[in-house]
Amino acid sequence: MRVNPENVMESELSNRLSPGPKIQDPDLKALLRFNETCDDGEGYDIGKDAMSRLVELGLASKGPHSIRHITAFGRWVIEREEGDITEPTLKTEDDLANESAVKLCQLRTGAGKGA
């Protein structure tokens, strides 16, 4: 059923055009915390139940060797929350894995730190 915008109240139209789904606060907090822990290469501390919810919601994924990572959708939610959305975040799992490998290598070697 197509909706004629002329027949829709402005507030209703605004709600229909709002970007993306609303993530529950505990899930959003867990996602943001998981994102923080991804940067240090030390593993995550949000708990197995919270991680299972992120995976079930499609915000995170379980890769080889039970390594968890943030999906493209999860990255989009983070960027939306932080107000950093300037263009669509459409990356493959390989793109994300390559970026993570580079970051991990930089952490291990200390590369990329200012002099």
What tens digit of pLDDT does each residue of 13-69 get? 444 445 566 888 889 999 998 888 887 767 788 888 998 999 999 999 988 887 888
- Predicted pLDDT at 49: 92
Q: Is the pLDDT of residue 79 over 80?
A: yes
- Predicted pLDDT at 36: 87
0.85 surpassed by pTM: no
Q: Which residues share a beta bridge with 70?
A: 60
Q: Is the pLDDT of residue 12 over 50?
A: no
Determine whether 108 is exposed, middle or buried from the number of CB atoms within 10 Å of its CB (0-12, 13-18, 19+). exposed
- Assigned token pair, 61: 């994924």
- Predicted pLDDT at 6: 53
What average pLDDT does the chain have? 76
The Cα angle at residue 77 between residues 72 and 79, in degrees rounded to 5 = 90
Q: Residue 51's closest CA among 73, 74, 34, 72?
A: 34
